[in-house]
């Protein structure tokens, strides 16, 4: 099995990578990492990884569920664990078959084990979470104009 870790935070990314490497070395043979807010960190190989562990929200933009939207694209195809690290609404389910709100008393090891054992979450599974929290439906709507090119080239 190959896994992709998608987080906005480098420390979390490296911790998860080490965790998977040391505790799931039998199941997970290759680990890719990518960063929320950095779409160019996506590699074509990641699209076919069997497991995704993703932070639901971009910590640099806490109202943007970029990670959740990304893993939803793999509904029915990839096994997923969604991590909710920021505050969630009162009635939001704190844990389920493919998500967990952190910090939590639950064992992450067992959580990942179960995710690997279970079939990939379906579109309806993701919609259940969206129904519990409207913000998860939020799509990108900004289009910053800003600079045109990163470098100024002489004569242009």
Of the candidates 16, 67, 81, 121, which one interacts with other proteins according to CB under 8 A? 67
Q: Does 73 bind other proteins (CB under 8 A)?
A: yes
Ramachandran assignment for 119, one of left (phi > 0), alpha (psi -120 to 50 degrees), beta (any other): beta
Q: Which of residues 78-107 bind other proteins (CB under 8 A)?
A: none
Q: Which stretch binds other proteins (CB under 8 A): 17-25, 29-37, 92-100, 121-129?
A: 29-37
Q: What are the structure tokens assigned to 53, written together?
A: 């562990």
Of the candidates 42, 88, 102, 108, which one interacts with other proteins according to CB under 8 A? 42
Q: Does 154 bind other proteins (CB under 8 A)?
A: no
Q: Please state, in angstroms and rounded to a whole number, the distance separating the CA atoms of residues 125 and 37.
A: 25
Q: Does 139 bind other proteins (CB under 8 A)?
A: yes
Shortest distance, position 77 Cβ to other proteins, whole Å: 11
Number of residues that bind other proteins (CB under 8 A): 32
Q: Please state, in angstroms and rounded to a whole number, the distance separating the CA atoms of residues 113 and 115.
A: 6
Contact partners, residue 32, CB within 8 Å, separation at least 6: 2, 3, 4, 5, 43, 45, 46, 49
Q: Does 44 bind other proteins (CB under 8 A)?
A: yes
Nearest to 67 by CA among 129, 5, 134, 132: 5
* Binding region for other proteins (CB under 8 A): 6, 34, 36-40, 42, 44, 47, 64, 66-67, 69-70, 72-73, 139-151, 153, 156
């Amino acid at each position: 099995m190959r896994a992709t870790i998608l987080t906005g935070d480098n420390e979390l990314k490296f911790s998860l990578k080490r965790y998977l490497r040391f505790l799931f070395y039998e199941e997970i043979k290759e680990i890719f990492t990518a960063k929320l807010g950095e779409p160019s960190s996506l590699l074509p190989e990641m699209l076919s990884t069997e497991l995704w562990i993703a932070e639901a929200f971009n910590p640099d933009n806490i109202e943007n569920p970029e990670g959740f939207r990304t893993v939803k694209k793999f509904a029915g195809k990839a096994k997923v664990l969604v991590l909710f690290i920021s505050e969630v609404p009162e009635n939001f389910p704190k844990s389920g078959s493919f998500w967990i709100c952190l910090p939590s008393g639950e064992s992450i090891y067992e959580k990942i084990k179960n995710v690997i054992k279970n079939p990939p979450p379906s579109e309806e599974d993701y919609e259940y979470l969206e129904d519990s929290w409207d913000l998860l439906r939020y799509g990108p709507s900004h289009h910053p104009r800003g600079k045109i090119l990163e470098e100024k080239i002489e004569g242009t």
